[in-house]
Structure 1
Amino acid sequence: MMHPHTELRYIDEKMGYGVFATRLIPKGTLTWALDDLDQILEPEVVYALDADRKKQVLKYSYRNQLGQFILCWDIGRYVNHSFHANCIGTAYEVEIAVRDIRPDEQLTDDYGSLNVDVPFDCLPEPGTDRKRVMPDDLLLYADIWDAQALDAFGRYEQVEQPLAHLVRPEFAGKIAHAAREGVLLDSIRAIHLDRRFMKAAT
C-alpha cells in the first residue's frame, strides 16, 4: 500500500502517470508496504496468461527473491524510476523516504532494486553516469541503498508512520533495531533474485 498522502497524476505522453505527494512526507517515513491485497503471482501463472494480461503484469509488477511477481493493488504500481530515488526498498517488504518529499514532488524508486528481467535504458539524469537499469544492480548498489535506508531509519520513530500497522511481525523488531541501535540487520541483497536456480521462462 502506498502512503495515504499520495495521489496518481498524469505527467506527459512520454512518462505517463506518476505518484505524487499531497503533503510533506518526512524523511524516515514508510512510503510503501506490501500488504495482503497485493497479488503474489507464481512465474508459471504469469507466463501462462494471454498476451494482453501478461504484458500488463510484466509492465506493472516487480519480482521478489523467490522469482514471484508482485502486482500492487493500488497506485504503487505507478511509482516511476529515478537514479536519485527518494524512496528506497529494504529487505523488510517496505520502502522508506530517504529524504523529505515535498508536496507535489513525485515519489520515485530505483528500479535496479526490483529484480528486472532485462536491462532497459532510462532518461538521462544529471549527477550520475548510470544510463541503464540492469538485472544485477541490486548486488552492485546494495551497500549504497542500505546506507541510505539505515540513515532514514534513524528518523523512523520521530515521524508519523501511517503504514506501520502493515509491517509484518517478523520484520517489526528488525526495523525497531535499525531505528534505535543504528544497525541494519538485513541487507537489501537478501531480496536479490538469483536466476541461476530458476527454470527458464516459457
Structure 2
Amino acid sequence: MMHPHTELRFINEQIGFGVFATRFIPKGTLTWALDDLDQILEPEVVEGLDEDRKKLVKKYSYRNQYGMFILCWDNGRFVNHSFHANCIGTAYEVEIAVRDIYPGEQLTDDYGSLNVDEPFECFPEEGTDRTRVMPGDLLHYADVWDAQALEAFRHYNEVEQPLAHLIREEFKDKVEIAATLGKLIDSIRVIYLERDSRSAAR
C-alpha cells in the first residue's frame, strides 16, 4: 500500500503516470508496505496468462526472492524508476523515504532492487553513469541502498508512520532495531532472486 498522502498523476505520453506527494513526507517515513490486498502470483500462473494480461503483469509487478510476481493493488505499481530514488526498499517488505519528499514531488524507486528479468535502458540522469537497470543490480548496489535505508531509519520514530500497522509480524522487531539501535539485521540483498542457468539465459 502506498503512503496515503500520495496521488496518481499523468506525466507525459512517454513516461505515462507517476505517484506524487500531496503533502510533505519527511525522511524516515515508510512510503510503501506490502499489503494483504497485493496479489502474489506464481511464475507458472503468469506464464499461463494470455499475452495481453501477461504483458501487463510483467510491466507492473516486481519479483521477490522466491520468484513470485508481486502485483500491487493500488498506485504502488505506478511508482517510476530513478537512479537517484527518494524511496528505498528493504528486506522487510517496506520502502522508506531516504530524503524529505515535498508536495508535488514524484516518489521514485531504483528498479534495480526489483529483480528485473531483463536489462532495460533508462532516461539519462545527471550525477550518475548508470544508464541501464540490470538483473544483478540488487547485488551490486545492496551496500549503498542498505546504508541509505539505515540512515533513514534513524528518523523513523520522529515522524508519523501511517503504514506502520502493515509491517508484517516477523519484521516488526527488525524494523524497531533499525530505528532504535541503528542496526540493519538483514541486507536488501537477501531478496535477490537466484536464477538457475536456464532462466538466467532468457
SS at match of 2:2: coil
Q: In 2, distance between residues paired with 1:197 and 1:65? A: 16
Change in Cα spacing, 1:64 to 1:197, as seen in structure 2 (3 Å) is farther
Counterpart of 2:159 in structure 1 is 159
What's the CA shift string for 1:37-87, capped at 9, x where partnerless? 000000000000001100100000000000000000000000000000000
| Letter paired with 1:33 | A
Q: In 1, distance between residues paired with 2:74 and 2:48? A: 24
What's the CA shift string for 1:140-165, capped at 9, x where partnerless? 00000000000000000000000000
Counterpart of 1:171 in structure 2 is 171
Deviation at 1:196, TM superposition (A): 1.9
Counterpart of 2:91 in structure 1 is 91
CA contact (8 A) 1:47 1:201 kept: no
SS at match of 2:10: strand
Pairing of 1:51-62 with structure 2 (within 5 A): 51-62=51-62
1:79 aligns with 2:79: yes
Q: How many residues align?
A: 202
Counterpart of 1:113 in structure 2 is 113
SS at match of 2:104: coil
Q: In 2, distance between residues paired with 1:85 and 1:44? A: 31
| Letter paired with 2:174 | K
Counterpart of 1:11 in structure 2 is 11
Q: In 2, distance between residues paired with 1:158 and 1:172? A: 17
Q: Name structure 2 gaps, 5 residues minimum.
A: none
Change in Cα spacing, 1:36 to 1:198, as seen in structure 2 (3 Å) is farther
CA RMSD, 1 decimal: 1.4
Deviation at 1:188, TM superposition (A): 0.1
What's the CA shift string for 1:5-25, capped at 9, x where partnerless? 000000001110000000000
* Paired-residue identity, %: 76
Q: In 2, distance between residues paired with 1:89 and 1:200? A: 23
- What TM-score does the superposition give when structure 2 sets the normalisation length? 0.98
